[in-house]
C-alpha cells in the first residue's frame, strides 16, 4: 500500500506520524524500550497534542533482534500468532551520549539519540546492513477510510537485491514490486500466491520476518525506490531482524526461529503418478497404467488418487466412491504388494451433501457466521462449509475420519486448497482475528493432517503434499507449486516460485511435471521430466489426462526412465541433503546466491539452481535444446556427460533429451547408490564416491545417512600434491569414481 505522492507530498486523506527523535528509554531486563515523539521537542510546549511511537528491542535467539513498534499500546491484539522459538541469548546494551547499542550475538541495533535525528541502524560484526531513519517508521491514518496503519522502511543499498516473501511466481528479484501477503488460489501465472510468507532476505545476508500472519503489505523499491517498506493495519508492528552473516546462515536462523522441516520418508523422493483430476479412477483403469509403467521398466513409487476418489458433490466426505472401488482395503493391499505407497486427495471443506456436514454442524466443528449459523458458500461445492481448526475437537474429528483411511492402507494425503477462507462476518471457535486466520488457517490444516500421519505411521514416515502455507508451514512437508500450465513460460515461473519459497525455509518442494492445465508437447514433457526428477519430490499430475509418458511418445518413456534411474542413484546424496534441511533448515533446492554469496553474477539468476551444495542444475526452456547458464568461478564437471568446464562466466550449450547442465562443483563428493529403481535402500552398501575436480589443498566431506536419517558413513577427501586422499568412516562398502584429475589413495 502506498501512502505518499512522490517525494514531498502525501496521498489525499493520509496523515502521517513519523518517529522524529529519541526522548528517553527504559530497561526491563533484556528489553530496551525507546520513546519517539512525532515532533522535534524544542521547548516545553512542543510535547502537547502530538503522537508518540514506542519501540521495544528484545532478542528471542542469538543473532535475532525483535523490533516492536507501537502507537497506542492499549489497542486489542488478537491471534493467531506464528509459533516462535525463544531461548535465553546473551544481550549487551551499551549507551553513549549520542547512541544506544543493543547487541545479540554479532547483530547490533544502534539507536541515534541526537535531537531530530532518530535512526535505527543494524550491523553484523561491524558491517553495516541497513537502517530506518528520517520519515521511515510511521503511524499512518487514512481519513478517507478511517483505517490506521503502522509501517517501517529499511534502506536498500546500491547493489542490494530483495528476495523471498513465500512462493512467488513474479520476477525472482523483488525490487520494484508491490507484494500483498494474501493466500489465494490463482495458479502460477499471476502476482497472487498460495504460500505467502512475510519474510524477505537480501543478498547482503540479512532477513526480516514481520510478526503478523495476516495481510502484510510490501512496497519494495516501489513507493520509495531506496527502501523496503512493509506495514500492517492497526496500532502496532513487530518484526524480527535476522542476521547469520551470510544468506544461508540467515535462512538457518529463520528456521531455528519458526521451525525446521520434518524429514520426509525416503520413499517419498521417488516418482509419484496421479490419476490426475478428471480421468476414471476405477481399479481396472488405474492398474492398467501401473502395469504399463512396470512393463516399460519405469520405476514408480507412489500412486495418488485425486479428487474423484470421493463422490462428486460430497467433497469432502473422506469416503471411497463405490464407483471407484467396492473394496478399497483390498485394492490398496494389491497396490502395496506392487511396492507402491498410496496418497489420496483431501481438502478442509465439507459440502452440504456430505454426511459430515450435519455432524459437523451439530457438534460445532464448522466455521460460523457472527449470528451463530454455519458459514457456507456455493463456490467450489454446493453449500460447503469450512472445518474450524481452532477448535481442538474439530481437529480430532478430522483425524478420526482420516485414520479410517490410514487403517485401510493410505500412506499420505494431498492437503489441497485452504486458501478460500472467509474474513467478513465470521467468528472462529477460539476468537481469532479473521483477517489473520485467512493465511494461517493453512498451517493449522497441514499440522492437523501431518500430526495424524506421524502418530499412525511413526515419526519419520509422515508426508503430505500441500498447496497453501504460511509462517512455520515448512515444518510439515512436502509442498508443491500449484496449478501451472503446459508451456516453457509456466515451467520457468514454477521454478521461480520454488526458488522464492526455499528462502522461507521450505526444504522440500515439487510441481506438476509438464503442467497441470492443458497438455504438453512431447518436447516440453521430456524437458519437464528432467527438471521434475531433479527436484526434491517428483510428481506426474494434470487436469484432463494422466501424464504417463507413452501418451506423448516412445522417447518420453525412455527419458522418464533415465531420470528416475538417475534420481534413485543420487539418493545417498539427496537424502544427505534432506537430513541437512531437517537439522539446519537448508533447502534442498537452492537459489545460486545462497551458495555463492558475494558472486554478483549469481544475484539475479532464476533459471538455474543448486540441488544441495554440490550439484548445479540448469533446466532447458527451449525446444531447440539451447541453454544459457552461469558458472561461478571454479572447475566444474557435468555428472551426465563428463564434460569439464571452467567457471567464472556464462556458458551456452545445446543438449538432447538425455542430458542437461548438471554440474558437480569443485572440491565435492557425490555419494551415488547402486539401486536405480528404488529411492529407499541401504545407501552405504555398494555406494560409489564420485569425486569432483580438487584444487591444490582442496578438501571435502560427505555424510551418508540411512533411511531413518542417521549418519552411517562419513567420507573426507583432500588433495595432497598429485594425490586425492580419501578417508572413509562407518559401515558399508564403497568404490571411488574420480571425475577430475589426480590419483586417488583411500583408507
DSSP codes joined into one string, 285-300: HHHHHHHHHHHTT---
| C-alpha closest to that of 132 among 16, 230, 253, 6 | 230
Output the pLDDT for position 353.
98
Q: What is the pLDDT of residues 165-202, one digit of tens each?
A: 999 999 999 999 999 999 999 999 999 999 999 999 99
Output the pLDDT for position 249.
98
Verify that 656 and 521 share a domain, yes or no: no
Verify that 415 and 455 share a domain, yes or no: yes
Q: Are residues 529 and 538 in contact, defined by beta-carbon separation less than 8 angstroms?
A: no
Residue 362 forms part of a structural domain: yes
Verify that 462 and 536 share a domain, yes or no: yes
Final residue of a domain: which of 584, 609, 643?
584
- Residue 389, SS3 per DSSP: coil
Verify that 298 and 439 share a domain, yes or no: yes
Q: What is the CATH number of the domain that holds 657?
A: 2.60.40.1180
Verify that 571 and 606 share a domain, yes or no: no
Q: What is the pLDDT of residues 614-642, one digit of tens each?
A: 999 999 999 999 999 999 999 999 999 99
125 is catalytic: no
The tally of domains found in the chain comes to 4
Q: What is the pLDDT of residues 493-519, one digit of tens each?
A: 999 999 999 999 999 999 999 999 999
Residue 397 forms part of a structural domain: yes
Q: Given pLDDT bands bounded at 50, 70 and 90, which one contains residue 224?
A: very high
Which grid cell is 228?
523496503
Output the pLDDT for position 229.
98
Q: What is the pLDDT of residues 576-621, one digit of tens each?
A: 999 999 999 999 999 999 999 999 999 999 999 999 999 999 999 9
Pairing of strands 538-540, 271-274: parallel
Which one of 235, 314, 433, 483 is the catalytic residue? 483
- Rounded CA-CA distance 189/605 in Å is 19
HSE at residue 551, side-chain half, CA atoms within 13 A, is 13
Output the pLDDT for position 299.
98
Residue 560 forms part of a structural domain: yes
Q: Given pLDDT bands bounded at 50, 70 and 90, which one contains residue 567?
A: very high
Q: Which long-range contacts (CB under 8 A, 24 or more apart) does 617-620 make?
A: 617/531, 617/534, 617/660, 617/661, 617/662, 618/660, 618/661, 618/662, 619/491, 619/495, 619/527, 619/530, 619/531, 619/534, 619/660, 620/527, 620/530, 620/655, 620/660
Q: Are residues 595 and 610 in contact, defined by beta-carbon separation less than 8 angstroms?
A: yes
Residue 252 forms part of a structural domain: no
- Rounded CA-CA distance 610/590 in Å is 5
699-705 β-sheet, strand order: 699-705, 711-720, 723-730, 743-746
| C-alpha closest to that of 268 among 448, 512, 509 | 509
Please identify which residue in the block is written with the cell numbers 483411511: 405
Which one of 21, 124, 131, 416 is the catalytic residue? 416
Output the pLDDT for position 640.
98
562 is catalytic: no
Final residue of a domain: which of 637, 664, 691?
664
Verify that 218 and 288 share a domain, yes or no: no
Residue 258 forms part of a structural domain: no
Q: What is the CATH number of the domain that holds 335?
A: 3.20.20.80
Which H helix or E strand runs over 354? none
Final residue of a domain: which of 610, 637, 664?
664
Chain-centre distance of CA 736, in angstroms? Answer: 35
Which grid cell is 701?
566431506
Q: Given pLDDT bands bounded at 50, 70 and 90, which one contains residue 336?
A: very high
483 is catalytic: yes
Chain-centre distance of CA 280, in angstroms? Answer: 33
Q: What is the CATH number of the domain that holds 101?
A: 2.60.40.1760
Verify that 113 and 144 share a domain, yes or no: yes
Verify that 605 and 530 share a domain, yes or no: no
Verify that 596 and 715 share a domain, yes or no: no
Which one of 419, 606, 653, 666 is the catalytic residue? 419
Residue 256 forms part of a structural domain: no
Peptide bond into 80 cis (omega under 30): yes
| Domain extent at residue 476 | 266-584
Q: What is the pLDDT of residues 282-303, one digit of tens each?
A: 999 999 999 999 999 999 999 9
Q: Are residues 205 and 125 in contact, defined by beta-carbon separation less than 8 angstroms?
A: no
Phi and psi angles of residue 707, each rounded to the nearest 5 degrees, phi first: -75, 0
Verify that 353 and 478 share a domain, yes or no: yes
Verify that 565 and 631 share a domain, yes or no: no
Q: What is the pLDDT of residues 21-68, one digit of tens each?
A: 999 999 999 999 999 999 999 999 999 999 999 999 999 999 999 999
Beta pairing partners, 294: none
Verify that 642 and 740 share a domain, yes or no: no
Please identify which residue in the block is written with the cell numbers 478399497: 328
Amino acid at each position: 500500500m502506498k501512502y505518499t505522492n512522490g517525494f514531498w507530498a502525501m496521498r489525499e486523506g493520509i496523515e502521517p506520524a513519523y518517529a522524529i527523535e529519541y526522548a528517553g528509554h527504559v530497561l526491563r531486563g533484556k528489553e530496551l524500550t525507546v520513546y519517539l515523539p512525532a515532533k522535534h521537542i524544542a521547548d516545553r510546549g512542543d510535547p502537547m497534542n502530538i503522537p508518540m511511537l514506542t519501540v521495544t528491542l528484545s532478542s528471542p535467539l542469538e543473532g535475532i533482534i525483535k523490533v516492536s513498534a507501537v502507537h497506542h499500546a492499549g489497542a486489542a491484539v488478537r491471534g493467531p500468532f506464528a509459533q516462535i522459538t525463544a531461548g535465553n541469548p546473551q544481550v549487551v546494551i551499551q549507551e553513549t551520549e549520542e547512541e544506544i547499542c543493543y547487541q545479540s550475538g554479532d547483530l547490533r541495533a544502534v539507536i541515534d539519540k541526537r535531537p531530530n535525528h532518530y535512526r535505527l541502524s543494524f550491523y553484523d560484526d561491524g558491517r553495516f546492513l541497513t537502517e530506518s531513519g528520517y520519515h521511515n517508521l510511521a503511524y499512518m491514518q487514512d481519513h478517507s477510510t478511517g483505517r490506521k496503519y503502522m509501517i517501517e522502511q529499511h534502506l536498500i543499498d546500491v547493489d542490494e537485491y530483495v528476495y523471498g516473501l513465500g512462493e512467488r511466481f513474479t520476477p525472482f528479484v523483488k525490487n520494484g514490486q508491490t507484494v500483498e501477503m494474501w493466500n489465494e488460489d490463482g495458479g502460477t501465472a499471476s502476482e497472487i500466491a498460495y504460500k505467502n510468507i512475510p519474510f524477505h532476505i537480501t543478498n547482503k545476508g540479512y532477513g526480516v520476518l514481520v510478526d503478523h500472519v495476516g495481510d502484510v503489505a510490501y512496497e519494495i523499491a516501489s513507493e520509495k525506490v531506496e527502501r523496503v517498506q512493509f506495514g500492517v493495519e492497526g496500532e502496532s508492528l513487530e518484526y524480527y531482524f535476522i542476521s547469520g552473516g551470510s544468506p544461508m546462515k540467515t535462512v538457518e536462523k529463520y528456521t531455528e526461529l519458526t521451525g525446521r522441516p520434518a524429514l520426509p520418508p525416503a520413499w517419498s523422493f521417488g516418482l509419484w503418478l496421479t490419476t490426475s483430476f478428471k480421468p476414471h479412477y476405477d481399479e481396472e483403469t488405474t492398474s492398467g497404467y501401473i502395469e504399463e509403467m512396470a512393463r516399460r521398466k519405469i520405476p514408480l513409487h507412489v500412486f495418488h488418487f485425486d479428487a474423484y476418489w470421493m463422490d462428486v458433490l460430497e467433497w469432502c466426505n473422506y469416503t471411497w466412491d463405490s464407483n471407484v472401488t467396492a473394496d478399497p482395503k483390498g485394492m490398496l493391499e494389491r497396490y502395496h504388494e506392487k511396492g507402491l505407497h498410496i496418497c489420496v486427495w483431501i481438502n478442509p471443506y465439507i459440502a452440504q451433501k456430505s454426511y459430515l456436514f450435519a455432524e459437523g454442524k451439530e457438534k460445532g466443528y464448522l466455521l460460523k457466521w457472527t449470528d451463530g449459523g454455519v458459514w457456507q458458500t456455493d463456490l467450489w461445492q454446493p453449500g460447503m462449509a469450512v472445518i474450524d481448526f481452532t477448535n481442538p475437537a474439530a481437529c480430532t474429528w478430522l483425524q478420526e475420519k482420516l485414520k479410517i483411511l490410514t487403517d485401510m492402507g493410505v500412506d499420505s494425503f494431498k492437503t489441497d486448497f485452504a486458501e478460500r477462507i472467509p474474513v467478513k462476518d465470521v467468528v472462529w471457535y477460539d476468537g481469532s482475528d479473521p483477517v489473520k486466520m485467512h493465511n494461517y488457517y493453512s498451517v493449522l490444516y497441514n499440522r492437523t493432517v501431518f500430526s495424524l500421519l506421524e502418530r499412525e505411521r511413526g515419526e519419520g514416515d509422515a508426508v503430505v503434499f500441500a498447496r497453501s502455507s504460511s509462517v512455520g508451514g515448512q515444518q510439515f512437508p512436502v509442498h508443491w507449486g500449484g496449478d501451472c500450465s503446459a508451456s516453457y513460460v509456466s515451467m520457468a515461473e514454477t521454478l521461480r516460485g520454488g526458488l522464492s519459497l526455499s528462502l522461507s525455509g521450505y526444504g522440500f518442494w515439487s510441481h506438476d511435471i509438464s503442467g497441470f492445465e492443458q497438455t504438453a508437447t512431447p518436447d516440453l514433457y521430456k524437458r519437464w521430466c528432467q527438471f521434475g526428477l531433479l527436484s526434491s519430490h517428483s510428481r506426474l499430475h494434470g487436469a484432463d489426462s494422466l501424464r504417463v509418458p507413452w501418451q506423448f511418445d516412445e522417447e518420453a518413456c525412455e527419458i522418464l526412465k533415465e531420470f528416475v534411474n538417475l534420481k534413485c542413484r543420487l539418493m545417498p546424496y539427496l537424502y544427505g541433503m534432506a537430513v541437512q534441511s531437517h537439522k539446519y533448515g537448508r533447502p534442498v533446492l537452492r537459489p545460486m546466491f545462497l551458495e555463492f554469496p558475494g558472486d554478483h553474477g549469481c544475484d539475479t539468476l532464476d533459471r538455474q539452481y543448486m540441488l544441495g551444495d554440490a550439484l548445479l542444475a540448469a533446466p532447458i526452456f527451449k525446444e531447440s535444446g539451447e541453454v544459457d547458464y552461469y558458472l561461478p568461478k571454479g572447475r566444474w564437471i557435468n555428472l551426465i556427460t563428463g564434460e569439464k568446464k571452467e567457471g567464472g562466466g556464462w556458458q551456452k550449450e545445446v543438449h538432447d533429451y538425455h542430458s542437461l547442465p548438471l554440474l558437480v562443483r569443485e572440491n565435492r563428493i557425490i555419494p551415488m547408490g547402486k539401486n536405480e529403481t528404488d529411492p529407499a535402500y541401504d545407501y552405504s552398501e555398494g555406494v560409489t564416491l564420485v569425486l569432483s575436480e580438487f584444487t591444490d589443498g582442496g578438501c571435502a566431506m560427505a555424510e551418508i545417512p540411512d533411511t531413518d536419517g542417521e549418519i552411517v558413513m562419513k567420507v573426507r577427501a583432500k588433495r595432497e600434491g598429485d594425490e586425492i586422499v580419501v578417508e572413509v568412516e562407518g559401515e558399508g562398502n564403497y568404490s571411488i569414481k574420480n571425475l577430475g584429475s589426480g590419483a586417488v589413495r583411500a583408507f
